[in-house]
Chains A and B, each alone.
Chain A
Amino acid sequence: MIPPETLTYLFMAVAGIGSTISVYYAIFEKDLLKAVVYSAIQSTFYALLYFLLMAPDIVLVYLPVAVGLIPGVLIILISKTEREERENAEIG
């Protein structure tokens, strides 16, 4: 039987690794819409981390802002520019 404290640390480790992988994908993704989705996944892992670290106030402010509002605003902004990130953008 695994003690509950070890289980908490295990969840925290999984969430930490998952958030790091999501950040990697968010940075290297050329499709900006997908990058926003990866960023939201990273935010979900962070919210889980905050919850396991016993900061429910931060979870409640982090979830609507980082998963709801910021992706929404970013998607609106992407719809006003271009969806693909270009390597050699000649037009400034």
Chain B
Amino acid sequence: MQRLVKTLVLVSIILGFSLILTIAPEYFIPGEAVRPLAVFYLSTTFNPWIPHLTVNSPEAVTAIVWDYRGLDTLFETAVFYLALIAGIALARGVSIKAEPGNGVGLTVIVKTVTKITAPMVVSVGASIGLHGHLTPGGGFQGGATIAVIPLIIIVTFSIFFVIGRGVTKEKMLVLRSIGLVGIGLTALAALIVGLALGKTAYVFQNMAKPTSEVSLPAYFNGSLISGTLWFFNLFEMIAVAAGFTIAFLLLTYPEKKEGENT
């Protein structure tokens, strides 16, 4: 049986390589020409001369993620939230309280380095997230970068230090819910404006469309915010950073107290 599997793997590797070397360039490897769908996205993502189709964001990936295909990203966020709820449900009834004298952590050198680098990492994460509509990056990228810092602080300073400073599971859950409510309200923003003005508008609408003239402001105080994209990135960043922090708090909580490990 094992020999049969090995033979099959070997034969499929040989067949796959011969396929790649012979006929694959004609059928599977895309040519250099840009496909029509990509041409549409690239020509409308930042194009002030087509005001009823553009997103006003020079970063095409964020425009696709939060505007052209915004509903997909909303459900992606919902999936992450459900996974987190499952984790919290597994840890139900566990109350984490700060115990003074128990949080020792690592040496002074490691703590000092962490103190210096933590603000840097947080600012880089905020820059990635809040400039997501201008440069590569976005809400999830920024949030994941910020979430590295709670993990490092928990490891270097111990979890009791973090909880003692007020970063509890409940507060992070509130922060995460604020992020999700913000995402929902941003998705409905154009619809609310349309209802207030008595005009046609859609859920997940950002700029004006051929059938709807409601448009969210692309510029704020002279700087480009691309309508809803900046707010989506901001709230997604908060939600992702808080969500990862909850997961780390639950994972690093010691199951047995010191000295009880027998």
- Chain A positions within 8 Å of B, measured between CB atoms, are 56-57, 59-61, 64-65, 68-69, 72-73, 76-77, 80
**When A and B form their complex, which 3 residue pairs have the shortest distance between CB atoms, in order from nearest?**
A56-B136, A60-B141, A68-B148
User: Is there contact, CB below 8 Å, between B148 and A76?
Assistant: no
Please indicate the chain A residues that have their CB under 8 angstroms from the CB of B125 in the complex.
64
User: Is there contact, CB below 8 Å, between A60 and B147?
Assistant: no
Query: Scoring B residues 213 to 249 as 1 if CB is less than 8 Å from chain A, else 0, what string do you get?
Result: 0000000000000000000000000000000100110
User: Is there contact, CB below 8 Å, between B136 and A64?
Assistant: no
Please indicate the chain B residues that have their CB under 8 angstroms from the CB of A76 in the complex.
248, 251-252
B90 to chain A, nearest CB (A): 14
Closest chain A residue to B146, Cβ basis: A64
User: Is there contact, CB below 8 Å, between A61 and B148?
Assistant: no
Q: Identify which of B61, B148, B155, B255 contacts A64 (C-beta below 8 A).
A: B148
B58 to chain A, nearest CB (A): 13
Closest chain A residue to B145, Cβ basis: A64
Q: What are 24 A-B contacts with C-beta separation under 8 Å?
A: A57-B61, A57-B62, A57-B136, A57-B141, A60-B128, A60-B136, A60-B141, A61-B141, A61-B144, A64-B125, A64-B141, A64-B144, A64-B148, A65-B144, A68-B144, A68-B145, A68-B148, A68-B151, A69-B144, A72-B155, A72-B248, A73-B247, A73-B248, A80-B255
B140 at the binding interface (Cβ < 8 Å): yes
A21 to B61, CA, bound (A): 32
User: Is there contact, CB below 8 Å, between B136 and A69?
Assistant: no
User: Is there contact, CB below 8 Å, between B144 and A73?
Assistant: no
Closest chain B residue to A75, Cβ basis: B155
B interface majority secondary structure: helix
A80 to B250, CA, bound (A): 13
User: Is there contact, CB below 8 Å, between B147 and A69?
Assistant: yes
User: Is there contact, CB below 8 Å, between A69 and B141?
Assistant: no
A60 to B129, CA, bound (A): 10
A59 to B244, CA, bound (A): 19
Q: Identify which of A56, A59, A60, A69 contacts B148 (C-beta below 8 A).
A: A69
B179 at the binding interface (Cβ < 8 Å): no
User: Is there contact, CB below 8 Å, between B145 and A73?
Assistant: no
With A57-B61, A64-B147 in contact, do A69 and B140 touch (Cβ < 8 Å)?
no
User: Is there contact, CB below 8 Å, between B61 and A69?
Assistant: no
User: Is there contact, CB below 8 Å, between B138 and A57?
Assistant: yes
A86 to chain B, nearest CB (A): 21
Closest chain A residue to B59, Cβ basis: A57
With A69-B244, A73-B251, A76-B252 in contact, do A57 and B137 touch (Cβ < 8 Å)?
yes
Closest chain A residue to B148, Cβ basis: A68
Please indicate the chain A residues that have their CB under 8 angstroms from the CB of B148 in the complex.
64, 68-69, 72
Closest chain B residue to A71, Cβ basis: B151
Please indicate the chain B residues that have their CB under 8 angstroms from the CB of A68 in the complex.
144-145, 148, 151
Closest chain B residue to A59, Cβ basis: B136
Please indicate the chain B residues that have their CB under 8 angstroms from the CB of A57 in the complex.
61-62, 136-138, 141
Closest chain A residue to B252, Cβ basis: A76
Closest chain B residue to A77, Cβ basis: B251
Interface residues of B in 59-112 (CB under 8 A from A): 61-62
Q: Identify which of A59, A61, A80 contacts B140 (C-beta below 8 A).
A: A61
